[in-house]
Amino acid sequence: MSTKSNNKASESSSNAILLLMTRLHFYIGLFIGPFIFVAALTGTLYVITPQLENAIYKDVLTTQSVGENQPLSNQIAAAKSQLTSDLTLFAVRPAPEQGDTTRVMFLDQDAQLTGARAIFVDPVTLDVKGNLPVYGTSGVLPLRTTIDFMHRQLLLGEVGRYYSELAASWLWIAALGGLFLWYKGGKKNKAEFANKTEHLRKRRRHYQVGLCLFVGLIFVSITGLTWSKWAGSNIGTLRSNIGWVTPSVDRNLHTASHNTMVSAEHADHLDHANHHDMAAMKPPAEKFENIDLLFDGVVKAARDAGIDANKIEIKPSTTNDKAWFVREIDRSWPTQVDSVAVDASTMTVTSRADFATFPLVAKLIRWGIDAHMGILFGVVNQIILTAFGLSLCFMIIWGYRMWWIRRPQAGSTSKPLLQAWGRLSGIQKTIILLIAAALSISLPVMGVSLIVFLLIDAYRWKRQ
């Protein structure tokens, strides 16, 4: 008798967990689905537009001139001659190949979204080819910058970042929950899929696409969270505490005998974050009066030290005690992201960070972020992410279609989340509470939205 009773209790607990996961998966789809849909759609647009942007701005990015490149100091002077106001020069990207233009970049509060603009100079003739806002390590131009900020914050400023953090926080939970529901369905799913009703066809497609996308869902969710405001800050703190940070050069000339460790993977979103602070730092006139003349020497010192990528960026020092910064910015495969600090007064390298010597975790993080952005494997990466993003959008649409077909009719009831919670055993409740508390602290936006879910569920239960 006790064996039967134990079996019934175990079955009841198992059914309660299944019901709990079913309702949670439903709430995620219903309330978070639109945010995930927008993130997937804008992310896909960002991935597929590099070639389009290159075509739109072809006259700015390329030149037909053939010959020897002028010194960088002359190219910078040509760029400055086109300025209508006094802007602070913060970086230069020499033309990577014959036929490309050089980017001379300035801090500009009037440049919408980015806070920076580039003057594009023909390195051979010194003709100015264009003047455009630029953003991030990828150097995206206005078209992709707008898409990038749509993906990141819906063009709403800092408050808009909550939308993308909300989507990333729940995406991996939705994926795991969907996998659990598919697994627990077992033979029942196979039997139902033998039928040909519209609802079951939609359900089958939803399951199949979800299974195919499972690894990708976990990947984009985790890598996306590293960019978020609250969860990203917690992830950064955790990485610092356990040593999972990326090596970077030390630009302090007084302590540049060894590398320092900082997290710098998200340069596309953070490169211009401190532009206003940089603009406020007025370099001493006696040292930086002829700053343009130092660029060629700094580049030579960096090249002699092994910075051999075609795509590089040079950032001048803003104070006497800081070194210049020269880095490789080619993040495709094979990755070229070595960097050095150069003392411009002696043209010597004072610190360096070579990708080949990065810890494995730092390399994986670098590759993961670049793959998320569609950079790592070029066109192949773009195709995979495009297929992934569109499939995710269709999966969400199918999920809503399933709900609409089976939505509760007037006067009918559905089992609330809290009803399933009440059927759990004490141990199960304790474990779930501990997991929920840990996740809510680590992912605050998810924690707040979970409370909203529970309030809605309590209201529904009370009405029923």
pLDDT tens digits for 421-459? 888 989 999 999 999 999 999 999 999 999 999 999 888
List beta partners, residue 105: 91, 118
Mean pLDDT confidence for 76-80: 97
Domain boundaries, the chain: 2-48+155-228+378-463, 66-140+245-358
Q: In this predicted structure, what is the pLDDT of residue 279?
A: 40
Burial class from Cβ neighbours inside 10 Å (0-12, 13-18, 19+) for residue 242 reads: exposed
- Please check the confidence at residue 357 and state whether its pLDDT lies above 90: yes
Report the C-alpha dihedral over residues 267, 272, 277, 279, rounded to 10 degrees: 130
Nearest residue to 27 via CA among 462, 459, 464, 390 = 459
Helix (H) or strand (E) holding 432: helix 426-442
Sign of the CA dihedral running 387, 393, 394, 398: positive
d(CA 183, CA 66) in angstroms, rounded, equals: 63
d(CA 137, CA 154) in angstroms, rounded, equals: 21
Q: In this predicted structure, what is the pLDDT of residue 175?
A: 96
- pTM of the entire predicted model: 0.88
d(CA 188, CA 13) in angstroms, rounded, equals: 19
Work out the number of other CB atoms within 10 angstroms of the CB of residue 266: 18
- Please check the confidence at residue 122 and state whether its pLDDT lies above 70: yes
Q: In this predicted structure, what is the pLDDT of residue 259?
A: 45
* Under 8 Å between Cβ of 107 and 280: no
List beta partners, residue 121: 102, 128
94-115 confidence digits (pLDDT tens): 999 999 999 999 999 999 899 9
Q: By mean pLDDT, which of 196-210, 271-285, 401-415 is the weakest?
A: 271-285
Q: How confident is the model at residue 278 (pLDDT cuts 50, 70, 90)?
A: very low
- Please check the confidence at residue 260 and state whether its pLDDT lies above 50: no
Share of the chain above pLDDT 70, in %: 84
Helices 2-27 and 161-185, packing angle to 10 deg: 140
**What value does the mean pLDDT of the chain take?**
87
Q: How confident is the model at residue 281 (pLDDT cuts 50, 70, 90)?
A: very low
